[in-house]
Structure 1
């Protein structure tokens, strides 16, 4: 019985050492900002799952509207270019943006980490989802995060 337990601990230790190469260096996902012209604006970190410093953590938060309650939206002009900036290596290799306006929610096309602000006036909420997917093992994520921000088109 002791041999089996020792073997189990050795296998577990080797697995943890092998996985440490894919763990991110931080305890939680990096900050993401949006750039509009020459100005940078913080986003709010929402739900995430992260493998950092040998520990896997998942945090579930409210959606973008609730998460941003009490925060002022970023004022932008119709059609302005919005660019996501993340000073972290490796960069996420998959991303997805959802826009919420009134009772409508839909995906936004993002090209090279950028999209265009809406043409109509109003407040628009966004969820910027990113994934650090393994490049060799299909469907294996090393971390994911959702960032929230709001734009006010005037």
Structure 2
């Protein structure tokens, strides 16, 4: 998949936040390709070590907010708990946290894919955050 310099603005991908109820929390930008520049970052678990997890209730709904137009049109969410990775379904920029208590690391990968050329990306970014279900 290629990454073009067209269709995106700014030197880096836009910031992404998670919204829980009325509260918003920043995520950590990781690996990305933007305006022809690609940057690699360490994985989310290592990158977020020492960060205080955001406390959430079991089955709480989390919403992703990216204040940028156009919105990304392809995305994947991976959850890591006790070394095990799992793909999580995202619908309408929302997902539900697990019912089991614990510390959960998330990687939210988003792509700005070309509307006409199937394998052409105008940019992509990975955002990470950590939640504690209590």
Q: Taking structure 1 as the reference length, what is the TM-score of the superposition? A: 0.83
Corresponding residue for 1:11?
Answer: none
Find runs of 4+ consecutive structure 1 residues off by over 6 angstroms.
none
Does residue 78 of structure 2 align to residue 98 of structure 1? yes
The CA distance in 2 between the partners of 1:87 and 1:93, in whole Å, is 14
Corresponding residue for 2:13?
Answer: 29
Structure 2 residue matching 1:90: 3-state secondary structure? coil
RCO greater where, 1 or 2, for CA within 8 Å and sep 6 or more?
Answer: 2
Corresponding residue for 2:113?
Answer: 133
* Count of aligned positions: 131
Structure exhibiting the larger radius of gyration computed from Cα positions: 1
Where do 1:135-154 residues align within 5 Å? 135-154=115-134
Greater strand share, structure number = 2
Q: Taking structure 2 as the reference length, what is the TM-score of the superposition? A: 0.95
Tell me, which stretches of 5 or more residues in structure 2 are unaligned? Answer: none
Question: How far did residue 69 of structure 1 move?
Answer: 1.5
The CA distance in 2 between the partners of 1:76 and 1:125, in whole Å, is 13
Determine which of 22, 28, 46 is the counterpart of 1:66. Answer: 46
Structure 2 residue matching 1:41: 3-state secondary structure? strand
Question: How far did residue 70 of structure 1 move?
Answer: 1.6
Determine which of 46, 56, 67 is the counterpart of 1:76. Answer: 56
Question: How far did residue 24 of structure 1 move?
Answer: 1.3
